[in-house]
Chains A and B, each alone.
Chain A
């Protein structure tokens, strides 16, 4: 696959995120950030994938990511999100949440603001007692974080203290958080529950709790459909992809068997939500395609990787509204492709924007594909 560019970066990558494009932008994204983990000296790095016409200083492969700047980060990078064009919010395993600013003029990174001990345990024995902050989501200027202490924090980018804290929101670890609406968030935890929290309400209780049927397998990631906000996808510790309709009931609409190990991230394509991407500890990255128009099918499916046409194993029909909630087996058609031909170590993170995909692995490599739908 010539369009995939690999770069070994001497650090295990835990998060990769494209810098968001301004609203009316037509060109593909050019900058992405990565965070590392399991190092004594972890780093946040900003990389550039320039125009395809570029040849690097040493004549290296065109389109190979170039390191623009990096900065030391205390603790593992557990989650990362761009707040705006210049600022990135990073969640640390020490329980600290930091806002970094990327200075474009001299290509440097600096720590702009920090909330220390945003997440902590109360333990008489340890002196530090920090708890890992596992998830962060931004909706400028609001920042919501969740952690291993079961706490939810609401910050504002310019304010020193938390706007609101829900202590003991969950008796288990909160693994991920995302915005449902501007005032509502979704969280997933390690006992298989999806919870909706209404931040306008003062009570410290979720407004709704959804549960997996059967074994309460921990859920690790969550994402909401970009246009149809009642459709939510979650990934579990057993590699199962669950799709939920939060208007109805308390159980997932469909369960799709995919990965053989923990699913770390799930992302709907922001502008093309018939496409979903998941990555896993088993080293694979799956592209789920429910687009109905055959001509739209991405041609990269024919190059490398395993391709499988698969039916979801619950009863599903294809509604006019969305293919994700469909439950008619005769009409159902979902293509699932593994984008990684020789999988070895875990793919920890992925991000997609426009035609560009970036993902990072425990094999200390970053991969960029800028022609996903070519």
Chain B
């Protein structure tokens, strides 16, 4: 394993006292369960048999901040839009598209900041830092501003985040020759970089002359302004308290000394600006390190520092994805196989899945992780609690759309079992049909048949009478449907059809062997009808079935068979014989056939 970048933070679990009791732990998908054991610190049994508590320790608390939910949802929409956006666009139009996406992300962050501001949430400062970093990355990486526009963008950037700079600029603009300034600011297409540089040089020299001539000697204030305009570092540093940060200082410096700075030169100015500004008094904060890395165009360093500094994966996941779309990240694989973009997205989405509601967003993120996304999704989706049928349906739909058949079967089975326990046989059947689970359908049918045997009538006729094509899902279900049909035919006094059906159920082996006795007993009233129902052929068939049934029992079983059984068999034999006699006579006579 590689060495650690930072010391792992120590987390104290409030309420757990390791001095009193030994603790044990287990990893969950996004949290750790810490439990108090029975054992005391110094051996066994000292803890005593008092109640044990279980603590759920989560690293990522941010997803539970209510005001951040807007951020997660809106950025999810932007993320999906980016993945779906046309890849055929190249060059300038593609870049413009990506810059727009970046701006959309930033406006979402700012909207969230507004809400947080109103709700007086402390997270505002973190969001503000995020927007600052993102904005800089947009300028340097996504837009890749060239020398010239680069400084303008940086000025906007600083202006957006620090309000004080306006004071200085206003002072400057009001005092000096306005027309020269206008020329300076006009970076339209008509001017090339060299033209602008020349103009600036000219203006710079003019300022220098004013200073040397002592034009402002009488007014020290004006003199210092002139020095600032000339880019005199010391003069600018004197006004340190007006500038809150070193990057503000950097941009001001560049404005007055190197307005046509090239992107690659930024790093030197940035480093010296930070050194000059901080002056060795304070060490750089995490934000400073991140910004410095950005100025040095060390993208990976930026992402790494952000990952360490921020408590939530949202920022690095989305930023890295955007940079990846800009084709800026080298696809060097991490040692366990996926690339950085995928790793961060997986982490972020896993965090979403630990939230009771935001898991739905996580699905789309996993979809866009080509290597491990599917596996992660399969593991996570099975752990979503399904407290209503509607939620189960939504989860099922997600699985079906991605051909995750195992998960479909598993979820349907869980829901079907729940329904069965609650005696909702129709619901249970509906779930087994969805999963095409023949085994479960058989189970449900057996339940129905058992109910019938115990009570003598069918429950839930509305279900059994309307099985439709789902009857074919399992043999037992087919039998159930057909058996019910037999009863219906009998009820409608369509005896010959009922008889035919009954016989077919046995001869075609649709009926389970355990049920044959019941079926044969059902045949009794038909045999006893005034009108002969069964033909000779059919009677022979019935007799054969009866013999098969009784012959199947071993001698030992014959002794254990109770009187009712034997009587039933006797009655059947008698009835069959009588029917056979009648039908032979009937079929034998000329009028009867």
Using a CB–CB distance below 8 Å, which chain A residues touch chain B? 8, 10-12, 37-40, 58, 76, 78, 93, 121-123, 125, 131-132, 134, 148-150, 170-173, 189-193, 195, 206, 209, 211-216, 218, 237, 261-262, 281, 342, 344-346, 362-365
Known: A10-B69, A281-B397. A191 touches B424 (CB 8 A): no
Known: A173-B430, A281-B394. A8 touches B388 (CB 8 A): no
Asked if B76 CB lies within 8 Å of chain A CBs, one says yes
User: With a CB–CB cut-off of 8 A, which chain B residues contact A148?
Assistant: 388-389, 424, 427
User: With a CB–CB cut-off of 8 A, which chain A residues contact B387?
Assistant: 76, 93
A171 with B425: CB separation less than 8 A: yes
Known: A8-B74, A78-B388, A215-B468. A237 touches B393 (CB 8 A): yes
Asked if B70 CB lies within 8 Å of chain A CBs, one says yes
Known: A170-B462, A364-B70, A364-B73. A149 touches B422 (CB 8 A): yes
B81 with A76: CB separation less than 8 A: no
B429 with A261: CB separation less than 8 A: no
A171 with B70: CB separation less than 8 A: no
User: With a CB–CB cut-off of 8 A, which chain A residues contact B388?
Assistant: 76, 78, 93, 132, 148
Asked if B218 CB lies within 8 Å of chain A CBs, one says no
B467 with A10: CB separation less than 8 A: no
User: With a CB–CB cut-off of 8 A, which chain A residues contact B468?
Assistant: 192, 211-216
Contact of B356 among A10, A38, A192 (CB under 8 A): A38
What would be 20 A-B contacts, judged by CB atoms less than 8 Å apart?
A: A8-B70, A10-B67, A38-B356, A58-B114, A76-B390, A132-B389, A148-B388, A172-B424, A172-B463, A173-B426, A190-B427, A192-B468, A211-B466, A212-B468, A213-B468, A216-B470, A261-B397, A345-B360, A345-B361, A346-B394
Report B145 CB to chain A, min CB distance, Å.
Answer: 29
A190 with B430: CB separation less than 8 A: yes
| CA of A345 to CA of B394, assembled, Å | 11
The chain B residue with its CB closest to the CB of A195 is B462
Report B478 CB to chain A, min CB distance, Å.
Answer: 15
Report A93 CB to chain B, min CB distance, Å.
Answer: 5
User: With a CB–CB cut-off of 8 A, which chain A residues contact B433?
Assistant: 215-216
B462 with A215: CB separation less than 8 A: no
The chain A residue with its CB closest to the CB of B387 is A93
Asked if B60 CB lies within 8 Å of chain A CBs, one says no
B76 with A363: CB separation less than 8 A: yes
Known: A148-B424, A148-B427, A215-B470. A171 touches B459 (CB 8 A): yes
User: With a CB–CB cut-off of 8 A, which chain A residues contact B467?
Assistant: 216
Report A167 CB to chain B, min CB distance, Å.
Answer: 11
| CA of A345 to CA of B360, assembled, Å | 8
Report B285 CB to chain A, min CB distance, Å.
Answer: 31
Give the total of B residues in contact with A, Cβ under 8 Å: 44
Using a CB–CB distance below 8 Å, which chain B residues touch chain A? 66-67, 69-70, 73-74, 76-77, 80-81, 114, 356-357, 360-361, 364, 387-391, 393-394, 397, 401, 421-427, 429-430, 433, 459-460, 462-463, 466-470
Report B104 CB to chain A, min CB distance, Å.
Answer: 12
User: With a CB–CB cut-off of 8 A, which chain A residues contact B356?
Assistant: 38-40
Report A306 CB to chain B, min CB distance, Å.
Answer: 15
| CA of A149 to CA of B389, assembled, Å | 11
The chain A residue with its CB closest to the CB of B431 is A190
User: With a CB–CB cut-off of 8 A, which chain A residues contact B70?
Assistant: 8, 10, 364
B430 with A218: CB separation less than 8 A: yes
| CA of A132 to CA of B422, assembled, Å | 13
B73 with A121: CB separation less than 8 A: no
Main secondary structure, interface of B, reads helix
A191 with B429: CB separation less than 8 A: yes
Report B311 CB to chain A, min CB distance, Å.
Answer: 20
User: With a CB–CB cut-off of 8 A, which chain A residues contact B422?
Assistant: 121-123, 131, 149
Closest 9 CB pairs of A and B: A172-B426, A171-B426, A171-B460, A121-B422, A10-B69, A190-B430, A171-B463, A38-B357, A8-B70
Report B591 CB to chain A, min CB distance, Å.
Answer: 42
B430 with A193: CB separation less than 8 A: no
The chain A residue with its CB closest to the CB of B111 is A8
User: With a CB–CB cut-off of 8 A, which chain B residues contact A281?
Assistant: 393-394, 397
User: With a CB–CB cut-off of 8 A, which chain A residues contact B460?
Assistant: 171
A190 with B426: CB separation less than 8 A: yes
User: With a CB–CB cut-off of 8 A, which chain B residues contact A211?
Assistant: 466, 468
B77 with A170: CB separation less than 8 A: no
Supplied contacts A93-B388, A123-B422, A362-B394, 20 more A-B pairs, CB within 8 Å: A11-B357, A38-B357, A76-B390, A121-B422, A131-B422, A148-B389, A171-B425, A171-B463, A190-B426, A191-B426, A192-B468, A214-B468, A215-B468, A281-B394, A342-B80, A344-B76, A345-B360, A364-B69, A364-B73, A365-B73
User: With a CB–CB cut-off of 8 A, which chain B residues contact A214?
Assistant: 468-469
B424 with A344: CB separation less than 8 A: no
User: With a CB–CB cut-off of 8 A, which chain B residues contact A131?
Assistant: 422
| CA of A121 to CA of B389, assembled, Å | 14
A191 with B73: CB separation less than 8 A: no
User: With a CB–CB cut-off of 8 A, which chain B residues contact A195?
Assistant: 462
Contact of A189 among B394, B423, B426 (CB under 8 A): B426
| CA of A195 to CA of B66, assembled, Å | 43
User: With a CB–CB cut-off of 8 A, which chain A residues contact B391?
Assistant: 37-38, 76
User: With a CB–CB cut-off of 8 A, which chain B residues contact A209?
Assistant: 462, 466
| CA of A76 to CA of B470, assembled, Å | 32
| CA of A125 to CA of B422, assembled, Å | 10
User: With a CB–CB cut-off of 8 A, which chain B residues contact A218?
Assistant: 430
B394 with A171: CB separation less than 8 A: no
| CA of A136 to CA of B404, assembled, Å | 34
Report B249 CB to chain A, min CB distance, Å.
Answer: 34
User: With a CB–CB cut-off of 8 A, which chain A residues contact B66?
Assistant: 10
Of B393, B397, B427, B466, most buried by chain A (CB within 10 Å of CB) is B427
The chain A residue with its CB closest to the CB of B65 is A10
Report B318 CB to chain A, min CB distance, Å.
Answer: 16
| CA of A189 to CA of B430, assembled, Å | 10
| CA of A38 to CA of B467, assembled, Å | 33
The chain B residue with its CB closest to the CB of A12 is B357
User: With a CB–CB cut-off of 8 A, which chain B residues contact A172?
Assistant: 424, 426-427, 429-430, 463
Report A293 CB to chain B, min CB distance, Å.
Answer: 37
| CA of A113 to CA of B466, assembled, Å | 39
User: With a CB–CB cut-off of 8 A, which chain A residues contact B463?
Assistant: 171-172, 191
| CA of A149 to CA of B419, assembled, Å | 9
Report A350 CB to chain B, min CB distance, Å.
Answer: 16
| CA of A65 to CA of B61, assembled, Å | 30
Known: A148-B424, A150-B426. A262 touches B393 (CB 8 A): yes
